[in-house]
Structure 1
């Protein structure tokens, strides 16, 4: 008998603002983040009102983790202390490994229209938290996409997509946390069963429509995040059509100590990050 992953919890995000006042929904993050290991935060932003996003995210620091920005609509410009400049646009992905430290800005490259996307924070193991920072700007044409035999459109941002019939490597592969990051567009009446290794944390975020998960009696509605057990298969179906982010990764099982944009393993390391930032040594 097929064993399906169980739904451990379903939750809604909370409205908040970040940067210089950008309005967004914090899907998860903050107290209790250990339950999402190796992930630290997921933000959803989306508005056609310039006042909600125009102030952007002026220069700010990070240390100890990775940020993954997936843009659905709109244009955002990235600049950092390493000299990187990148234009993030619809269908593109920015993968930034802050590691020891990076200071960057993300500012709208538009004054009107829709700005929509997601930012995911992925933890780094203690052994690599102080390695040099790096940055990848992956344009839409370089992000792998496929359509399954059932008609599901899949964007493969990270990891390896495999449903037993078609396989596709993602734009990014990462060690230690071994993340999978897919955007699934499921037409009405279709199903999909991506293979995810046992032991991986699996999160499903329905950002449009409604989806059903095999073994769970209730549908997962729009703007709901489902956290699944670490064993078994994942089989998604949508009676009416849905767009779903599937996020999975290997838990690190390390202490998580966070202070704003710094995520380390101990309080002492956080205090050192604060001193380094104050003394202009964060990125040294």
Structure 2
């Protein structure tokens, strides 16, 4: 008999700033939830005051992980040291592998209105940390979605649903799942995911009940799920959330700011390389 996943831990995150004063809530990567293998960081930015967000995230280095930016409202422009540039519109997703090192920036392309999105860092396996940086971008209209009869819509960024809807991101090692799930009044969601995957839910808006125990989660809360093969969600109101899961790496992790490596020596080398201009 398949086991239903239940809520293991609930995290509300901490308010902080990053970049040039960008206000955000850090859900993963703080003292409350330092790491959730293979997830290293999850930041949520949600601001309608242009004077606070206009500075964005100026040029900064990265190495050793994948950076996933999901724009919910507003738009940002990405530029990097490899010559790539792109506009991430509302509903769009950029999935960037920083590999052996890259310098990038993400700047708001608006001077008013709401800027809201999620920034997720996914650790790279040790043998892929020196790979060439690359990125994939999909705007909202190009990301597949699945409408179900039980008041449920799933936008599939990564992974594949039981109905066969597949996201544009694939990774044979981590087998990531990244689904934007919207439930209407009295909506329900049931899906199989690999038992060995680390999985969590972040509620964007509304309120959700999780598992057979019907554990309640409110907007702004993150729930780490325990092991199991089935995820069950239900809602009595309009609710939006992301379900994110991936295979754990079970490797040592040493992080220093924007560098995510396997040892202190590797981190020191990354810092030295950046200071010497190797990332450019």
Per the TM superposition, whether the score is higher than 0.5 is yes
**So what's the TM-score if we normalise by structure 1?**
0.95
Q: Who is 1:272 aligned against?
A: 269
Q: Does 1:108 align with 2:128?
A: no
How far apart, in 1, do the equivalents of 2:265 and 2:181 lie? Answer: 41
Deviates more, 1:24-33 or 1:229-238: 24-33
Deviations 1:49-91 (A, max 9, x none): 1022100111000000000000111010001111111000111
- Shift in alpha-carbon separation, 1:198–1:10, aligned structure 2, 3 A: same
Is 1:174 the counterpart of 2:167? The answer is no
Q: Which moved more, 1:242-251 or 1:206-215?
A: 206-215
Q: For the Cα contact (< 8 Å) 1:161–1:170, is it kept in 2?
A: no
| 2:217 is the counterpart of 1:200 | no
Check conservation: 1:210, 1:221, Cα contact below 8 A: yes
How many Å separate the matches in 2 of 1:237 and 1:45? Answer: 26
Distance 1:108 1:214 in 2: 38
2:187 aligned residue: 190
Quote how far apart the aligned CAs of 1:156 are.
0.7
Which consecutive aligned stretches of 4+ in structure 1 deviate over 4 angstroms post-superposition? 31-35
Who is 1:132 aligned against?
Answer: 132
Q: How far, CA to CA, are the matches of 1:238 and 1:10 in structure 2? A: 18
Matches within 5 A, 1:45-194: 45-162=45-162, 166-194=163-191
SS at match of 2:217: coil
Distance 1:113 1:54 in 2: 11
Q: Contact 1:203 / 1:225 at 8 angstroms: preserved in 2? A: yes
What is the TM-score normalised by the length of structure 2?
A: 0.96
CA distance in 2, matches of 1:168, 1:86: 26
Q: Which residue of structure 2 aligns with residue 22 of structure 1?
A: 22
Q: Counterpart in 1 of 2:252?
A: 255
Q: 1:282, CA displacement in angstroms?
A: 3.2
1:254-281 CA-partner distances (Å, limit 9, x unpaired): 0110000000000000010011011111
Gapped regions of structure 1 (runs ≥ 5): none
> In structure 1, which of residues 219, 229, 244 is the aligned counterpart of residue 226 of structure 2?
229
SS at match of 2:268: helix
Aligned residues: 280
How far 1:150 sits from its partner (Å)?
Answer: 1.3
- Distance apart, 1:35 and its partner CA: 5.0
Whole-angstrom distance in 2 between the partners of 1:80 and 1:35: 26
Mapped to 1, the partners of 2:254 and 2:123 lie a distance apart of 11
For the 8 Å contact 1:26–1:42, the answer to whether it is kept is: yes
Q: Does 1:245 align with 2:264?
A: no
Which whole-Å CA distance do the structure 2 matches of 1:96 and 1:35 have between them? 19
